[in-house]
Amino acid sequence: MKLSVNDPKLTAYALGEIENEEERAAIEKAVAESDELRQAVAEIRDMGALLSAGLGTEAAPELSELDMARMEQAGKKQAGMPATHGGRPVLARILSWPALSAVAAAAAVALFVFVLVPPYETMQPLPEPFVDEFGLVPVDILPSPPEERQDAERDKEKNERLAQAVVTLEKKADVDSANSPAVMADQLFELSPFEVSVAEDIGYASKSTLAASRMPPPGIVDIRQRTEQWNTESYDTIEETGFRSPLVAPLSTFSIDVDTASYANVRRFLNQGQLPPADAVRIEELINYFPYADMAPGKSLEEGGDPFAVHMAQMPAPWNDEHRLLRIALKGYELPWEERPASNLVFLLDVSGSMNNANKLPLVKEAMDLLVRRLDGRDRVAIVVYAGASGLVLPSTTANNRETIAHALQNLSAGGSTNAGAGIQLAYKVARDHFIQDGNNRVILCTDGDFNVGTTNRGELAEIADKQAEQGVSLTILGFGMGNYKDDMLEELSNKGKGSYAYVDSSAEARKVFLEDLTSNLFKIAKDVKIQVEFNPAQVGAYRLIGYENRRLKAEDFNNDKKKAGDIGPGHSVVALYEIIPAGTDIDLPTVDPLRYQDSPGAKSKGSEVATVKLRYKQPDGDVSKLISRTVKRDDLLFIDQASADFRFSAAVAAFGMRLSGSEFIGDFSFNQIESLAAGAIGNDPGGHRSEFTGLVRLAESLKSTPEQIPPRGDR
């Protein structure tokens, strides 16, 4: 496929609106082969993030279907675009964003006009401008500083690509929104994280816009300040793992983790103009958010194979070339959708007052609709809701009864307090009543985690989830919203409930969870997967596991089949990274006195072996684990440019998490260096997630660009 940077399909792809899989794959291939297209995609996504951040908290008055239709037609006519591409016109995509649904792209441009206007105290009075018959003021009358005009002219070609993300409205478009400032523009110039300018001679601004421009700018900075005023989000404390000597602690043991919530949550913070709290950054969830191209098992289970393949590799650590990185990757076998087991799903939906925001309940409905469309007559769906009390909105029904399910969804509304305990108990009861033997029995909880009445104790709720998981009903959690988000509660519930945990910050993320990753999120091919690594002191002076701080296990837990651990789904990629200091390197570590009764350290060590990696797992219906063992040797070390794109990209993501969380081990490795490492390892990028990542790195760099500005975990 041949694409130009001005092709509307490129914009649709960047905004995640290409639903045809073949077309999306063709665009991804074209983008992967062109630096110019990758840059264009990153810029469009940056703009989309800014639009969402700048307007995501605004209340949206309702528009009639006639209003929406008129606005779409106006946009199509002005832009000269076909009615649809990728399934929906660009204007429809813009209108699907919560803050844009009421005032369309016009109000978005109006808001951004304010951002560059200086505060009231420094403003000089503006002359009363000419007003035309529609009460609109031509934008070319507004003064523009010479340097801004020069910047705009210099970057005009580049910025026209961004303009495709906002479809202009006709001058006389009939939008019934009397209190909204009317603005029309054919294009926007380049958007930095906090700046927007409107081109000269190409639009209109109303008198109310000019009056508002004399006020302090209501841009992203104000949104951040408002968020801080009512922020009651909570996260469990993360204590970063330090280096350990294999002479003192030769074993490192942990449970795998396939959750992805932290990555989407970090993205939400960055898109609203904030660096995330250090404890919101779980590096393993950032790394495992992305698909990797590691090979699946070569043998089937019937042939005596394992449900996942194990891959290992070493290369120098990008942030310290005297250290090594050891990558351990698991890749589950693929499960064709038609071969999946039948599902018994109970949606447990939080409809309390705290969910009454555009980025909460409406996204819940959209996510549910995406999932239900993938199910068929073999599957069952029920809907339980809870607020001050709980209730069964939709008794368990076959999933092909789509009209009944859609009707139940459409009638949901938010209000009241949050009694999660009663809702969880009812949802599990419904799941047990319709239990499918050898099937996928699962409760899917959609909430912001702000439980405030009834059973609210984390321990009690976790105990419920734990007991139900033992009886074969798993708990998957989808987190929504901001401000009162309770990540700590939701993460523990998902861990105890033996399910995955994702955070949904956008329609695009809902599609990733329930379209791209549906099979791996709903089904499991192995359970209680544990990893234990024994390091050889003859080759390793010290080591540390990057991330997985709340997944660490005791050494004796590895062989204890009663000790639970994480599950892996079909096609899932699970990656763990160890940073290793080679033996013989001068290091300053806590030590103990020499042991009197133990053999000397290297007496029995295998000279060339760096480590032995052992894994244990159970079949989904089994109670006895199976052992897998592999060794890593010194000569397996690769140069960075020899390492796979997957290895280099996962290292970039790990460095990003370390930099965001203020890790003491990242040194002076900057966001710019992280972006460069990631950009050189994009490779095959299904869904465009790696390209999006490079945009987030740039955004983080713009918020805090120097290492000194990012305090370590203990000081945040």
End position of a domain, from candidates 481, 497, 521: 521
Residue with tokens 């930095």: 192
What's residue 483's pLDDT? Answer: 79
End position of a domain, from candidates 471, 486, 521: 521
Q: Identity (one letter) of the amino acid at 116?
A: L
- 455 phi, psi to nearest 5 deg: -80, 105
Angstrom distance (rounded) from CA 213 to CA 406:
44
Angstrom distance (rounded) from CA 272 to CA 95:
19
Residue 307: inside a domain, yes or no?
Answer: yes
Measured at the alpha carbon of residue 450, what is the angle toward residues 447 and 451, in degrees to the nearest 5?
100
Angstrom distance (rounded) from CA 582 to CA 567:
32
Beta strand 566-568 pairing with 526-535: antiparallel
User: How many residues are given for the chain?
Assistant: 716
Residue 154: inside a domain, yes or no?
Answer: no
- 130 phi, psi to nearest 5 deg: -65, 135
End position of a domain, from candidates 473, 500, 521: 521
Q: Which residues pair with residue 629 across a beta bridge?
A: 614
Residue 475: inside a domain, yes or no?
Answer: yes
Q: Are residues 713 and 662 in contact, defined by beta-carbon separation less than 8 angstroms?
A: yes
Determine how many CB atoms are found less than 10 A away from the CB of residue 39.
17
The reply to whether 517 and 370 lie within a common domain is yes
Residue 572: inside a domain, yes or no?
Answer: yes
> Of 438, 476, 507, 689, nearest to 93 (Cα)?
507
The reply to whether 686 and 578 lie within a common domain is yes
Determine how many CB atoms are found less than 10 A away from the CB of residue 619.
16
Check the CA dihedral 555-558-559-564 and report its sign: positive
Angstrom distance (rounded) from CA 279 to CA 677:
25
Angstrom distance (rounded) from CA 408 to CA 382:
10
What's residue 389's pLDDT? Answer: 60
- pTM equals 0.71
The reply to whether 540 and 671 lie within a common domain is yes
Please give the helix or strand (H or E) that residue 54 lies within, else none: helix 35-55
The reply to whether 691 and 625 lie within a common domain is yes
The reply to whether 291 and 354 lie within a common domain is no
The reply to whether 541 and 440 lie within a common domain is no
Residue with tokens 């409760």: 443
The rounded average pLDDT for each run of 10 residues, N- to C-terminus, in the chain (716 residues) is: 81 79 82 82 74 51 44 47 40 42 44 42 42 39 45 49 41 36 32 32 34 37 42 89 94 96 97 95 98 93 92 98 98 94 95 79 89 94 82 94 92 66 89 96 89 64 93 94 86 93 93 92 96 97 97 98 96 98 88 69 69 97 96 94 98 99 96 98 93 97 62 49
Residue 212: inside a domain, yes or no?
Answer: no
Q: Are residues 355 and 413 in contact, defined by beta-carbon separation less than 8 angstroms?
A: no
DSSP conformation letters of 601-666: TTSS--TTEEEEEEEEEE-TT-SS-EEEEEEEEGGGB--GGGS-HHHHHHHHHHHHHHHHTT-TTS
The reply to whether 282 and 381 lie within a common domain is no
Q: Identity (one letter) of the amino acid at 669?
A: F
Residue 182 DSSP code: P
- 528 phi, psi to nearest 5 deg: 50, 55
Residue 455: inside a domain, yes or no?
Answer: yes
CATH number for 476: 3.40.50.410
- 213 by DSSP, 3-state: which? coil
- Provide the CB-side half-sphere exposure for 488 (13 A, CA): 14
Residue 441: inside a domain, yes or no?
Answer: yes
The reply to whether 371 and 497 lie within a common domain is yes
Give the number of domains in the chain: 2
The reply to whether 430 and 480 lie within a common domain is yes
Q: Are residues 418 and 387 in contact, defined by beta-carbon separation less than 8 angstroms?
A: yes
Check the CA dihedral 458-461-463-466 and report its sign: negative
Angstrom distance (rounded) from CA 617 to CA 527:
6
Residue 513 DSSP code: I
Residue 680: inside a domain, yes or no?
Answer: yes
The terminus-to-terminus CA distance of the chain in angstroms comes to 48
The reply to whether 386 and 531 lie within a common domain is no
Question: Which residue range is the domain that position 688 belongs to?
Answer: 251-259+273-336+526-585+607-704
The reply to whether 672 and 691 lie within a common domain is yes
What's residue 416's pLDDT? Answer: 56
CA torsion 199-204-210-213 (nearest 10°) is -40
The reply to whether 395 and 455 lie within a common domain is yes
Q: Which residues contact 40 (CB under 8 A, 6 or more apart)?
A: 5, 10, 14, 161
